[in-house]
Amino acid sequence: MGQVLHAAPVTARGSVEVFFTPWDDAEGAILRALREARQTVHVQAYLLTSRPIARGLSELHARGVRVAILADREMERRGSNSRLAELIAEGVDVRFETRYAAAHNKIILIDALSSHPVVITGSYNFSYSAQARNSENLLILRNHPELARRYLDNWQRHLEEATAPE
C-alpha cells in the first residue's frame, strides 16, 4: 500500500439527491444529470453495460463535451455486455485500470472545474442489474466545487496509472 493520507474534512454544502434501487430511478437521475453537462464528464466505472448511460455519454461526446472514462480492465475482459468498445469506436477517451484487484470506483463528475459541478457516486454500477435487480445506492452531489475537485484529483491520479485500449 502507499502512504496513508489523512485528508482534511470537506465542509458540507450544495445539494444532495439520494436514490435506492430497485425502488428509485437512479439511472434516470444519472441521465438527467448528464444532459446538464457543458464542458467535461469524467467517469470511473467498475462496469458499464447500461445502454442508456452509454448512449448518453456518446451523445455528449458528439456535441463536443469532453468525455473521459476509466474502467476496470478485468471486468471489461470478462463482461460480454460492456458498452466500452462502442464508446472507443466513437472516439470517446477510454483508459483501463490494471493496477488494482478491482478498480471499484463508480463515479461520474460533470463539469468538475466549474462553479456548479456535479459528483455522482455510490455503490451503483452503470448497469441494468444495478437499476432493476440489485440493492444499490446513488448520491448526486451538486454545487460543491471543493468536493468535485477532490474527486477529480483522485480521478487524475488513477489516469496516470491507466493504460490505453489494446
Mean pLDDT of the chain: 91
Is residue 33 domain-resident?
A: yes
Is residue 3 domain-resident?
A: no
Task: State the catalytic residue, choosing from 42, 61, 72, 111.
Answer: 111
Is residue 166 domain-resident?
A: no
| pLDDT at res. 90 | 96
Q: How many domains does the chain have?
A: 1
Q: Is 6 a catalytic residue?
A: no
At residue 130, φ and ψ (nearest 5 deg) are -60, -35
Opening angle at CA 51, ends 48 and 52, nearest 5:
110
- Per-residue pLDDT of 3-62, as tens digits, reads 666 677 888 888 999 999 999 999 999 999 999 999 999 999 988 999 999 999 999 999
Q: Is 144 a catalytic residue?
A: no
Task: State the catalytic residue, choosing from 93, 104, 116, 158.
Answer: 104
Domain that holds residue 145: 15-161
Is residue 135 domain-resident?
A: yes
Is residue 140 domain-resident?
A: yes
CA distance 37 to 64: 10
Is residue 60 domain-resident?
A: yes
User: Is 116 in contact with 40 (CB distance < 8 Å)?
Assistant: no
| pLDDT at res. 123 | 95
Task: State the catalytic residue, choosing from 42, 61, 72, 106.
Answer: 106
| pLDDT at res. 79 | 65
The pTM of this model reads 0.92
- Residue 6 makes CB contacts below 8 A (sequence gap 6+) with none
Q: Is 111 a catalytic residue?
A: yes
Instruction: Count Cβ atoms within 10 A of the Cβ of residue 23 and give its class: 0-12 exposed, 13-18 middle, 19 or more buried.
Output: exposed
Is residue 127 domain-resident?
A: yes
CATH number for 86: 3.30.870.10
Higher pLDDT, 74 or 2: 74
